[in-house]
A and B are shown apart, each in its own frame.
Chain A
Amino acid sequence: MTAESVHESTRPLPTVPGDGSAPGPHGTRLLSGWFTSGRAADLADHLDRYGPLPLDRARRGGRGGPAPLIHAVEEAGLTGRGGAAFPTARKLQAVADGRGPAVVVANAMESEPASAKDATLLQLAPHLVLDGIALAAEAVGAREAHLCVARTRQHQVHELHAALAERERHRVGGVPVRLHELPHHYVSSEESALVRWLNGGDARPMSTPPRPFEKGVGKRPTLIDNVETLAHLALIARYGPAWYRQAGAPDAPGTTLVTLGGAVRHPGVYEAPMGAPLGRLLAHGGGPSEPLSAVLVGGFFGSWLPADEALPTRFTKQDLAQLGAGPGAGVLVALPERACGLAETASVLAFLARNGAQQCGPCRFGLPAVAEDFAALAFGRLDPDGLRRLERRVGLLAGRGACRHPDGASRFAATALRTFAAEVERHLHHGPCPAVDHAPVLHVPTGSVPGADEWR
């Protein structure tokens, strides 16, 4: 992903005060540097805009008193941007309350194929993320921090090494951060997989409990946060919760990075207010480029929603949950009417089946069986008995793996069967429609099941 994928509108750019406390053009915060300067922020740009690292504001009170930063993050209502939208302050507090020195892990793996927001953020504003790591570490009492990236993204690795070296040279402060290059598979970015890899094992999810916040890296209480979450935290530390809440909605405060794809005029990464209707989020990318049948919310780990249901729905955890969806990592893919939702779904399920960690029953047997039946439904023939079998197997995936990979695949398949119910009927009785021959809307990575030696 390159900076070019962040789109500028043709509106004139307002100027931003040097302290960065006012929202940038189009309400941006994380990406305001890019919109005002048009280039990735190096350390000097970053310090000009945001000032020095406010480590003292994160420091814990005497005798284990709570860190003011954790309180500020709670007041701000920040939720995780890695997928589950979990309240960040609750996790910070749990790790801070744990026994002994803690560890911080920043998740920059971005294994979701439809997402590009973490790569974009790390390219354009790496020091916001690195500030967030330093501040979170201070708040939970960590003496070490790890930044996990995908080994396949060497360009990103080089840029981050350079940014870390720059901070070292200029003595920015904070705990040392070690950069790690992990194998890049769909589930190697799940939090227990990061812990297992950092402890010297395979980057495959582990059985929990213990959860990482109890016993993670080196058996110590471990905070694992998405890099975007940490960047928001770095701004909350500087400007406070009231400022944070000036954007977004009371029940979904702040801004969020979204990756818009499919039938939108200008696909790419945008920063938008939380809580806006999905239609408004798509408008950041110029809106739909043709009539839509559905929207995929949350990417390959997400849910299909009919377009008329999706577009007026607000982007909050609660509103989306009512439709069986969630904010996920902020991916929205607009499916045009001419595309076949069943064919798109079948390709993604095949990808998810190839990419389980081959450890648990549902990933070894259930998921491949579901993918196979779905492929028959989309591209070949499936009879009504086959459809009933498919529905039963989809219903048996969730909650039955060590991690939530099968749950994601189950939801993806179930929401497809609901959203594309009319197409399911058509395929059952007449076989595939001509749309299956069109170029797919979703870019599904190819590749085979990772070998046993490809997880380290």
Chain B
Amino acid sequence: MNRAITRKLAAAATNAYQSKVLRKNLCGGANASAATSTQINNHIHEDKQSFTHTVHPYDIAIVGGGMVGMALACSLATTPLTKHLNVAIIDSNPALGSKVSIKKEDPPDPRVSTVTPATISLFKDVGAWQYVQQHRHAYFDKLQVWDYTGLGYTKYYAKDVNKDVLGCVVENKVLHSSLFSRVEDTDFQKTIHPSRLTLMSLHPSSSSTVESSSSTEASYVNGCLAKLELSDGSSLYAKLVVGADGAKSQVRQLAGFKTTGWNYSQNAVICTVEHSVENQCAWQRFLPGGPIALLPMGDKFSNIVWTMNPKEAADCKSMNEDDFVKAVNHALDYGYGPHPKSSLLASADMFSWLGGNLVISANDSFEVPPKVVKLASARMAFPLSLMHAKDYASRRVVLIGDAAHAVHPLAGQGVNLGFGDAFALSRIIAEGIAVGMDIGEVSLLKKYEAERKPANVTMMAILDGFQKAYSVDFGPLNILRAAAFHGAHHISPLKRSIISYASGEQRLPLFS
């Protein structure tokens, strides 16, 4: 360390003492007047006047207040060791501006997530599930999977894995607003910056000769803070920056984390449909072009996720509603091929080498999903892709959710992995605080990475395998695929571990 810097730092250190006094006064004032803990930082100028030189640094800046970013905020706000943290949430999404009131009679949104029992219990732990329950949601305890060749089908039950439910289908906006409402009901110190991140500097260049006019700047120059610049021209400092800004993460790019990934030349068409009876089960059928899933949403609505090539997707989006409803009913019933054989005896012989109990109980027999009567939302098409960041963490930066890994919507696992990240990161931050660590320290953040990477990579490999196995029409090889179904149907331990993993338990599939 050279002399000049040393002297500058000494001056800065003195400054720090002065600014502390300032800050104390400010906090006192804020407490006295604070009716709600949320501050919307539209008044940057005011801020600048009160601190001529000292920009108040945050403990954590969460870039991206989507479902995963909000889950982190919620977990931090409700954990004894972290609830005192001073957190900034940066997102221009207007949903964060004020309490959005979702009415039960609002038409269902096509963007839904299938949350796993593991996610549900995390939501319960932080007290957010009760808010979800005030809105439309649909639990399901049964999943039927079959394919168009008519050779095989399988059914998964929650009771097979000693659970009450396999999952719950909830609109994304409900999950988001539930987490947000939960945070609002605590006295967590958070500041929402309705803006977007444009620049981030973590390691100021050594040539930076800016006269450190404030202690904050000095801390930054010394790598004790990260500096963020926002599209509204303001800037802020934080000990830790969390990238929760989705698949196209700016934080990831600015931090220089590399990614691997690929696109499948397939799209998912997503929409909400209505039935005349309540749908109680989750359904998935593999068609020559890819799978179609029908997920119960409650109030006689279901969500459709239908994978196909981009041309078909474009057609599906543009065809008239009646034709689309017909196409959906066709795809979920006799289209492309017969129902799987109700008499399984022949195939039971065929697969006897798989062992297991071949007696099928009555309610285990093949069922046809309820008919769709009406389209209930716009149709949206998304390209399928898989993306994984090679690093999740470095000094003062960490990625969670889609910023670290984006998976195709096929198995509805995307946001569950993200919630897993958010809650794990919150726990690890709490562990660091318990032993007085600087929360931006790389050794702490690498602990989070070491915990989450294997879980995410495993799930991605499974989803990739699914995709490969079912996106191609194997012709005669379909019999193998059918065999796999039968295998899954009859070999309980195997089936159990598949469901366990898909329902968010930590155990590795197939190897447990």
A joins B in a complex:
no
Interface residues of B (CB under 8 A from A): none
Interface residues of A (CB under 8 A from B): none
